[in-house]
Amino acid sequence: MSENLPDDVFTLDALRDFTPVGVQLGVVGWPVRHSISPPMHRAALKVLSTASPRFSDWRYDAFELQPEDLAEGVELFRKKGFRGINLTVPHKVEVLPLLDEIDPVAAKMGAVNTLFFKGSRLEGYNTDGYGLENAVKEAFGQGLTGRDIVILGAGGASRAAVAQCIHSSAKSILVANRTLDKAQAIIDSQADELGRGSAISMEEVPAAAAPGSLIINATSLGLSQNDPSPISVDELPEGCLLYDMIYNPARTPFLEAGLLRGYPIANGLGMLVHQGVRSLEIWTDEKVSAQAMRIACEQALAAR
């Protein structure tokens, strides 16, 4: 294990020598050393073990694997008897050829964030859409159903959001991106089910957004302190709701601008929690405590 890694983060070399104790779960990314998924899932597993002793030996760790090592890593997880793995950047798409079966919702999203090892078979799921749906409902009192929605960005997060908005019967969907062709590609990929939707530039968002729209930032703008907001929030129509998939920092420039304008805002912590809830429910077939997960996330972020 690298001297620069926390004790509970394992490299490929460490994974080769890794001996699971009990039922093993984990998260895989590159990098993954700053992930708060381990404390989040451990908190929920602790609650589960209090109610049922069968969860007392369940364990959740982090594995930092480079993209070229993913296939070997997945095979090692299979051979060592892992039950489940969460995937984060950049592995959500690259894992698709390694699956034996993919959930229909994940197939529409074109990405997987949850692996479930069932004997010799590997199943893939995507719980990000579930996380978004429940986070929006938690923050604003209503989910995605019936809403006019504008999604900023045209990467994997945006495609997953579009698929979930369709699944949840959103009223309309606009995908905005600096490169219009990329936004149009997402619209085209969902054309059979999308109905009312179109691709627009970032500059067009204020004029194109309907009053009361839910504006979702699915770009990476806001992760760095000096990042600008992806759009001009000051020019948005009245009644808009602003949701940012980024949770650290808690207030991105996009959300700060919305707060100053008086729009209701929410960051991506709720999405992280609820996608984690759904992953753990898939693995355990039990109801999972979102509250325990949220508290653990807040404590982990406060400690940084």
**Which positions are annotated as active-site residues?**
92
- DSSP at 163: H
Task: Give the number of other Cβ atoms within 10 Å of residue 181's Cβ.
Answer: 10
Q: Are strands 241-244 and 121-125 parallel, antiparallel or unpaired?
A: unpaired
Three-class secondary structure of residue 206 per DSSP: helix
Give 267's contacts (C-beta < 8 A, 6+ positions apart).
243, 244, 246, 247, 250, 251, 252, 255
Give 30's contacts (C-beta < 8 A, 6+ positions apart).
64, 65, 66, 67, 89, 90, 91
Three-class secondary structure of residue 130 per DSSP: helix
Based on its alpha-carbon atoms, the radius of gyration of the chain, rounded to whole angstroms, reads 19
Q: Which residues pair with 59 in a beta bridge?
A: 24
CB 293 within 8 A of CB 269: no
Q: For residues 198 and 295, give the distance between their C-alpha atoms in angstroms, rounded to a whole number.
A: 38
Q: For residues 152 and 244, give the distance between their C-alpha atoms in angstroms, rounded to a whole number.
A: 10
Q: For residues 151 and 158, give the distance between their C-alpha atoms in angstroms, rounded to a whole number.
A: 7
Cis peptide before 97 (omega within 30 of 0): no
Q: Which residues pair with 217 in a beta bridge?
A: 152, 244
Helical ranges in the chain per DSSP H = 12-16, 37-51, 70-79, 91-94, 104-109, 128-140, 156-167, 180-189, 191-194, 205-208, 253-261, 269-284, 290-302
CB 157 within 8 A of CB 217: no
